[in-house]
Structure 1
């Protein structure tokens, strides 16, 4: 994508209001994420035909008028080195900083829209959102559902302490704690072959426990890492399919070690920073697929020969960092 800009519109009339350079918006966002200046860096952007018409609430409210293409694959190159590549929603990396800029520069404007414009995008039409009428509601027709919905009730996990599971010290921070066997630690950080070209991932298998010393807390012991089969791969993100879960269920059953699917892991192909953990796409996948609050998401940042391993879990309603320990010898 070359000569890209973000055009601004008043949403009631679709009157063009002005424009902002796209890289002018993106540069400070990624400088903060990467913790480094990006002077002289090249942004390679691919607008993806994945719909996202979410309205950003605030002042002004802001909507992507080209919401049929709601995601950007971002690749940042400094000289001959790729320092970052990952997909993001346009809402996340363009909409939010644009909203902050407009709120400061045009406080009298309360409803606005924007659309990315670049070479090759002339065929993308603008789509004005339906005006909201006071006192109205929207009801979306869906197929009939049964009156009653039956769902399996999971057995409560057994109780244990971190010490009884081999943790070298009792770290009770966070609602969910993670303990790795040494084999799992070595596999994730050293032994597993991982691509430097595309994101990869798989499943985490082990046993969840209720912390007997802290009743509101869970401890997850990871005993195996299983590469996912039949996964989806695209510019957008790494995904699981129904077959992925069938295969992992068969593998877990064949191991006969009373293990459960305790989470998943995947890679990011750029250095780890405090600010950049799971992306919005990762969070959506985790929330929609791994619904037990003790299920965890593992993240491996790859940069050259270095790997940084982190875990995340539901920490009182928010997906946050989950501390991990390695079993003592």
Structure 2
């Protein structure tokens, strides 16, 4: 096959590309330029968007002896990922930009261009598995549970999965990947994993949002509607948040309080005890399906965070959305997050959380 290997400049994508070369595929490496000024996105070896990362990716391609190109997706990334991130926070929701990047950039824009150029598939260093059988391609969790990234791939559809390869998903531990990179002479074998959000170089999400949305003073309220603090913009908060509240009135019972609601229209943030975060019902919109639409009511495991617990639930699906009823209460689930539903280790699909209820 002719395979387009997305090379972020990290060790995972480099080893994934190397394995494809070993398997006899015709491999071409591509690095995605996601910012007109890469230094504004990430410094050092912490992410996937810095100038250093593009150099690392090129050096890895040279070691592997494969062609290498840099593709400029800065404008589309800014519109589909960064602007979406800001708009979601402005609306009082909590987005996952990595999931959105996979959906809109890596497995949509890149795959579209790659197929137009005659490539059969796009490969990445994600820890997940694809299996073919019965005329379908299915997405599964990685066997390396600690590194499983199937959650952020849950938005992919059947057509995208048919043209996606994940060479690290079967039985590979991170230590093995680093050892393999070193044995292959790849200088990035000891490069740290990426963390945080690639387009926020300081890790200061609140500061980034202030720079895009400005500051707007508002009240922090308790469950009774009493003012217990002040803030400089409701967009900097997310449901379940505990730190950074700086409340002026302590709780009567002395227990910590958490953000329970964000109202962008009134510019208020409501706080309460942990118990008030309990969720048993999730309403999801914009459902996606990795294989096919599965109507009706069925049992599933549901995950709402990239490294969160898979929770037993009952899912009722329609063409417009899903209703998820958890077997046990979960805490701190925020609108805007993705709910990814599984049948065992197989990914069935995902939806954007629109509302929750106790």
* TM-score interval (norm. to shorter): under 0.3
The structure where helix makes up a greater share of residues is 2
Q: Which has the larger radius of gyration?
A: 1
